[in-house]
Amino acid sequence: MLYSQGMDERQVRAIELLAEEYDYGRGSLHAHKVAELAASLFDQIQHLGLYPGLSLSDRRTLVAASYAHDLGASPRAFQDAMPVLSRSAEPADNPDLGTISYLALRSRLDDPSSAFSSIPLTPEDRSVLLQSVFWLTSSTTYSPEMDVLADERKTRLFAGILRIVDALDFRLRLRVRSIKLHGASAWLRILVRMSATADEEIDRAHRNTGLLGDTLRLRIFIQEVIED
């Protein structure tokens, strides 16, 4: 099988169109806000040198994961995930959103009639994409038996970013205007500029900083700034 050199714009667009079929799980506006904020965090982490070696292909993979991160909220995604869930040795009574998103996305990537048969993802891009979506809501970070974890640290980075930015819009109120990183040797402050108070979102984001903080080996604080 011939692969591209890394995630390209055609593949990102294909995943965006795939997510659109599921109404992005919780709607287009939320998914695109998460993608915008995730890309901003990625760019600033790269600029500050907090994770050396990141590439444009990595950025595209994160954006693609942002589009697909909530697929599990769609009834169709649950239907697509059921064949695998029913074959599991220990089927989950109430699989979490990340598991359903992961299984639905995986089934579509493996569908020979999908766009990905002609523009397949590299094994690393596929792994990071799927596992980032899976780890979004998982209480632990582990790899499902059906997939190989290609790059654990990068996957932790992407899942950590998604956990924070998803939390900043989990009420679907689209109040975040921008985010800005300020770092020191032992900590990282995320300054969140809001159009209105969003205490629930800020609190939830605080509680979701652990994975990114552990990956970067920094304590992360989130500060809200209200702009008129």
Least confident of 27-36, 40-49, 86-95: 86-95
pLDDT at site 85: 74
% of the chain surpassing 90 pLDDT: 74
Task: Give the pLDDT confidence of 98-147 residue by residue, as tens digits.
Answer: 889 999 999 999 988 888 888 899 999 999 999 999 998 876 556 666 67
**Mean pLDDT, the chain, whole residue set:** 90
Q: Which architecture characterizes domain 9-169 according to CATH?
A: Orthogonal Bundle (1.10)
DSSP β-bridge partners for residue 182: 189
pLDDT, greater one: 197 or 5: 197
What global pTM score does this model have?
Answer: 0.92
Checking if the pLDDT of 2 tops 50, the result is no
pLDDT at 52 over 90: yes
- Domain ranges (residues) in the chain: 9-169
Residues 204-220: what's their mean pLDDT? 97
pLDDT higher than 80, residue 86? no
Task: Please determine, for residue 179, whether its predicted confidence score (pLDDT) is greater than 80.
Answer: yes
Between 152-167 and 56-68, two packed helices, what is the crossing angle to 10 degrees?
A: 50
Strands, E, within the chain: which ranges? 176-183, 187-194, 219-226
Burial letters 152-170, b for 16+ CB under 10 A, else e: eebbbbbbbbbbbbbbbbb
